[in-house]
Amino acid sequence: MLLNAPLIFGPQVCASLSEGAGASREWLVPDGVGGYAMGTISGLRTRRYHALLAVADAALTERHVALAALDATVTLPSGATVPLYTHEWASGAIAPRGHAHLELFELADGLPRWRWRIGDVVLERELAMAHGQPSLGVVHRLISAPGPVKLSLAAMCTWRDAHGERRADGAPLTVRTVSDGVVIEDAYRLAGPGWTAGGQWHLDAFARAEADRGLNPVEDLWHAGSFAATLEIGQALEVSAWAGDLGERPPPAATIVAAARDRAHKLVTGADPADSTAAALALAADAFIVDTASGPDVIAGYPWFNAYLGDTMTAYEGLFLDTGRGSEGAALLQARVTAAVEAADAGLLHDPVDGPLWLVHAVERHVTRLGDTDLAAALADPLTDLILRHVGLGQATRPAPREERPEVTRSALAAVLQTPTQALTPITPAQRQAPVLQVADSDGLLRHDSDRNALTWMNARLNGVAVTPRTGKPVEVNALWVNALAGLIGLLRAAGRENPDLTKAHETALASFQQRFAAPDGWLYDVVDAPPAVYPLGGTHHDDASLRPNQLLAFSLPHAPLRGEAMPSPIRVAGSALLTPLGLRSLAVGEFGYLGTHRGNRIVRDAAYHQGVVWPWLIGPYLDACIAAGLPTDGVLTGLEAHLNEWGLGSVSETAEGDAPHAATGVPFSARSVAELNRIRHRL
């Protein structure tokens, strides 16, 4: 069996810009520290995020687009000049149309390779990032020609926040010529042979995907200059681009490519994959694992997400335990527990609110699967304290006055946590006594107050107002709560300790869950004890029976409150109403408020985000629930496995539309989606 099988596309796909073809399929090469190279297989830049070099800051809170493109032009032995690059412009023009010369695109070992053919002349490009550094190597090699071919590479540059644009009428780029290239903004450097300085703005480059998302699609690109060489068959032109220490030259581009391939082979071997799909998922998982000053962390998705506690811990098993990377995982868990405690000390709320509960789940799975009792002994007590404080049962958070801790500011702490500031919400001293999650009633279940900024994982907002507020006692939060209590009890026992209060809390919450959440429709309530509905009027509370996938966690988690119960009906209903080829809908088609499309401006997209949009990561809980209930699982993953070569190549998208044909949406490379597909394949 051929593991690490490449994805190969011929000219019908890579030389076409039509929907579903070369401009819709994207490749990603991460640098292992939060930056990346990314684009489409046709070479057309369709997103503001597309670049050959995008650089992340040390805190993983910002990225900058640097080298946008290297535009290749060949001069044939006949003297004819042929551009091999493609740009789209705000006027609607696509010029030049170099993609028409593509005969092959290949993604092998996670690295892209292009081949252009102009008659009997064949040129190849491959690229890679130096792992652990913001450093790119690009190799152009002449494969076939009747004589010498001159190759020119125009460096199209910028330096801007990845979420924005830079225009010619703004601040000029600072450019400094060096012996073999150029330094841009004192932020990154380009080096290669035959450098000739440029100095011209190319106006109104158009990114069609941003237009589709209702965002500004137009920017200007600076032609900093060009590299050039005359090549014989087998000869290569190599270009390097890097940030960081600009005085320290990286290894040659060909060396970077070879090292990246060797590393990919080792990753796949270490994961011990059963088939080529498992090998592809091991490589896909690696894209999200990054090195930071405080240890390993996880990027939630490329190109626009950063690191978030809930996403990281949901993805933990599939990224680390099912790829043979347990030692890295242990370091991540220790760092994340420390960071979560620091966040609680500083009065910061996690958004979504279930992040700490997923943290317990990840630690418990690590200890259970690897037998790591040392980790249990180290983390059981701080985790227990964290969770009890998180739900209002532990000692109240009373951080020292600001003048005693001047270093603890919102932005500084976010950097320490490797978490973007928008995911941590400061709370007032008065609010600290009323957690956003709390055991408010004698039933021992968690109540969530969506008016307090932090939301459940269904956390889309429009103008600051939650689209899916879910105030009350959400089903998956309480399933995670029961699971976390059992997990903490197990961790303490592994460390040789007991906590009778936890045992009592678990018994109470478990019994209440089993009694409270069954809805008369044959599935579970999504939220119980919610505020009364606007219509019909009356009553003191409302039990929301909307058919959503959140209930699956009540059956799927290792200590789920309904695991092993004779209640397969909710799982069957979820399969019938929510299951699609790419995952589960966030709301059933027949429910009020269902939205089956997920495109348009941000308001339209956020409105649909959890109102019918498909989430691939939910395939894991669904199949776990099926396995626990003894229900069939054959063929459920067929669509997701095929999706590996549809959009984000070798990876799985964040979301998809609820209506067929379930076009992929969101980020094309999603950590949770990849991790849950990888994890559940190991269980089947």
Average pLDDT over residues 521-537: 83
Question: Between vectors from CA 329 to CA 327 and to CA 333, what angle results, nearest 5°?
Answer: 120
429 falls in which pLDDT band (50, 70, 90)?
A: very low
75 falls in which pLDDT band (50, 70, 90)?
A: very high
Residue/partner pairs of 236-239 with CB below 8 Å, 24 or more apart: 236/139, 236/140, 236/141, 236/142, 237/139, 237/140, 237/151, 237/153, 237/192, 237/193, 238/137, 238/138, 238/139, 238/140, 238/192, 238/193, 239/70, 239/137, 239/138, 239/140, 239/153, 239/190, 239/191, 239/192
Query: Is the peptide bond between 96 and the residue preceding it cis, with omega within 30 degrees of 0?
Result: yes
State the Cα–Cα distance between residues 625 and 476, nearest whole angstrom: 13
Which tokens go with 318? 């599939």
pLDDT at 420 over 80: no
CATH number of residue 493's parent domain: 1.50.10.10
- Tell me, yes or no, whether 272 lies in a domain: no
* pLDDT tens sequence across 287-298: 999 999 989 999
Are 70 and 147 in the same domain?
yes
Are 25 and 163 in the same domain?
yes
State the Cα–Cα distance between residues 69 and 44, nearest whole angstrom: 10
Rounded-to-5 percentages of helix, strand, coil across the chain? 35, 25, 40
User: Which H or E run contains 350?
Assistant: strand 348-350
59-68 per-residue burial string, b: 16 or more CB within 10 A, e: under 16: bbbebbbbbb
Among 242, 238, 275, 270, residue whose Cα is nearest residue 255: 238
* pLDDT tens sequence across 198-246: 999 999 999 999 999 999 999 999 999 999 999 999 999 999 999 999 9
450 falls in which pLDDT band (50, 70, 90)?
A: confident
Among 5, 286, 22, residue whose Cα is nearest residue 129: 286
pLDDT at 211: 97
Average pLDDT, the chain: 92
Are 302 and 196 in the same domain?
no
Are 240 and 350 in the same domain?
no
- Tell me, yes or no, whether 310 lies in a domain: yes
Are 394 and 464 in the same domain?
yes
pLDDT at 234: 98
CATH number of residue 94's parent domain: 2.70.98
pLDDT at 110 over 90: yes
Q: Which residues contact 261 (CB under 8 A, 6 or more apart)?
A: 108, 109, 111, 128
pLDDT at 398 over 80: no
Are 546 and 448 in the same domain?
yes
- DSSP state for residue 229 in the 8-state scheme: E
pLDDT at 295: 93
* pLDDT tens sequence across 493-519: 999 999 999 999 999 999 999 999 999
- Tell me, yes or no, whether 281 lies in a domain: no
State the Cα–Cα distance between residues 157 and 450, nearest whole angstrom: 44
State the Cα–Cα distance between residues 207 and 65, nearest whole angstrom: 14
State the Cα–Cα distance between residues 585 and 594, nearest whole angstrom: 10
Question: In the 3-class helix/strand/coil scheme, how is 151-211 assigned residue by residue?
Answer: EEEEEEEEEEECCCCCCCCCCCCCEEEECCEEEECCCEEEECCCCEEEEEEEEEEECHHHH
* pLDDT tens sequence across 159-168: 999 999 999 9
For 70, 125, 255, the CA distances from 228, given in Å and listed in that order, are 11, 15, 20
* pLDDT tens sequence across 593-634: 999 999 999 999 999 999 999 999 999 999 999 999 999 999
- Tell me, yes or no, whether 260 lies in a domain: yes
pLDDT at 410: 29
pLDDT at 194: 98
Sign of the C-alpha dihedral computed for residues 58, 60, 66 and 69 taken in this order: positive
Looking at the chain, the whole-number percentage of residues with pLDDT higher than 70 is: 92
Specify the amino acid at residue 101: H
Secondary structure (DSSP) of 587-645: S-TTSTT------SSHHHHHHHTTTT-EEGGGHHHHHHHHHHHT---TTTTHHHHHGGG
pLDDT at 453: 65
Number of independent structural domains in the chain: 2
pLDDT at 138: 99
Are 257 and 326 in the same domain?
no
State the Cα–Cα distance between residues 547 and 521, nearest whole angstrom: 9
Specify the amino acid at residue 418: Q
Among 478, 469, 464, 465, residue whose Cα is nearest residue 449: 469
Average pLDDT over residues 20-25: 96
pLDDT at 346: 82
Which domain does 551 fall in, by range?
290-683
Are 465 and 562 in the same domain?
yes
Domain final position from 250, 265, 280: 265
pLDDT at 653: 99
State the Cα–Cα distance between residues 282 and 303, nearest whole angstrom: 19
pLDDT at 426: 43
Which tokens go with 440? 């408010």
Specify the amino acid at residue 663: A
Q: How many other β-carbons are positioned within 10 Å of the β-carbon of residue 170? A: 10
Specify the amino acid at residue 145: A
pLDDT at 469: 87
Looking at the chain, the whole-number percentage of residues with pLDDT higher than 90 is: 83
- Tell me, yes or no, whether 220 lies in a domain: yes
- Tell me, yes or no, whether 2 lies in a domain: no
pLDDT at 403 over 50: no
Are 406 and 506 in the same domain?
yes
pLDDT at 666: 97
DSSP 3-state assignment of 479?
Answer: helix
CB 333 within 8 A of CB 363: yes
* φ and ψ of 470, to 5 deg: 60, 40
State the Cα–Cα distance between residues 147 and 135, nearest whole angstrom: 33
pLDDT at 396: 42
Are 413 and 513 in the same domain?
yes
- Tell me, yes or no, whether 284 lies in a domain: no
State the Cα–Cα distance between residues 448 and 454, nearest whole angstrom: 9
The single residue listed with the structure tokens 């399933």 is 479
Are 295 and 251 in the same domain?
no
**Termini Cα distance of the chain:** 20
* pLDDT tens sequence across 45-64: 999 999 999 999 999 999 99
Are 255 and 121 in the same domain?
yes
424 falls in which pLDDT band (50, 70, 90)?
A: very low
* pLDDT tens sequence across 248-276: 999 999 999 999 999 999 999 999 999 99
Which tokens go with 113? 């390779």
Specify the amino acid at residue 278: A
User: Which H or E run contains 349?
Assistant: strand 348-350
Q: How many other β-carbons are positioned within 10 Å of the β-carbon of residue 315? A: 28
* pLDDT tens sequence across 540-578: 678 999 999 999 999 999 999 999 887 889 999 999 999
State the Cα–Cα distance between residues 38 and 21, nearest whole angstrom: 17
pLDDT at 315 over 90: yes
- Tell me, yes or no, whether 671 lies in a domain: yes
